[in-house]
Structure 1
């Protein structure tokens, strides 16, 4: 039985390596598929913005995929906290014991650095740590970066033109890539082995490189993307940490004492 399980694991490992990115280098990669469109700003989970605005500091207001992932991480942490707090007992179970072990470990590190003052900043440090690590973990779950809506070639070209205009450049439609999805209508997919299923906007405009009856060109905009890949997440955490730290310093040392430091 053990040998059979080991054999299955080895076969699955070989197939996954040969069919994935490593195998693609050697002409295999039969399980691979094109990556979802990822850019520095987070992508919206709905095609149209909730509020359209174009001011100096705020552009269109929308719900992004990293916002959804952040909410998912927060909800998960809150649910676990509620479950553990309701079942706290003198003899801890597995979940309570695991969480107590993690908290005591980090509290011990804090006390070794700041002594009795560690309990003052420990909640903030632990909250930031848990938020970051949970976002990292859920970011590797199936569905993150692989399920979403397809942006049309027209919008892809429009965004490329806007980007080029801001940079003072001209768009070359031969270098604006599109993914080719199997199917038409509301449900399309990138099947295994479709790593090379992409065309340029120039080919799309000429009607080349895809079957109009059974394929849909565009770009996959994922519904879910790890919040830590959004530059706004570390920026927000840094602002929260700095504001809190300065508040603690002011309340402890006073205005002139803090400035003098």
Structure 2
């Protein structure tokens, strides 16, 4: 759980940096891949990627000892970190209700920590590995086509797609049972992990660059928690401590609900405000 919370801190801080960088990248031609390339020229986006990389290492360590539902809820709780970091670095004011939501997230994670058992002992079938790869490929196609989406549904679709991509990463980590080069190259889950993660970053960058980022962030939280948690319980054998399933379910729902209440902190300030903040913080 310490590793899961470490990942949440890294991802939550990276969200603030990447959201500002994506907005500063501005509109332009070339589609979603070109947008990602423009964002990569921003130092904030690169710093966010470095934190994402560190968070990913923490996430892998957590998934090796905790059920997916516990890790997923902890990662969704990164929005609580995003809210606190935004309050400090971007001087975004949190209301009393929002501070209460941060407390709710922490309470939910505490309940999950008490109720979570060890990770499931099932290795996962080859069919599940191929399904993860197919889902990752579909999300990559959605990432390339994301620029053609319009209307109020855009943010939700892209955010949900990004969340599903991160969910593919969570499940794929559990489906990789050997790091031997030959075995790894023959495992569809290894390719699903790389493709799903890349698609998730592309979709999330597009979502935070324009449209309703709050809606996109809420969709991302839903996509990266519910589906992977269900897969972990049904196909990978994730369980709770004896007699504490109710506490795990309650903690999961409380943590995710608190994260959704903080979804607006995926939003970046406009370019003028971001520039002013950058000048103020040196």
Q: TM-score, normalised by structure 1?
A: 0.27
Bigger helix fraction: 2
- Structure of higher CA gyration radius: 1
Q: Greater RCO between the two (CA within 8 Å, min separation 6)? A: 2
Bigger strand fraction: 1
Q: TM-score, normalised by structure 2?
A: 0.25
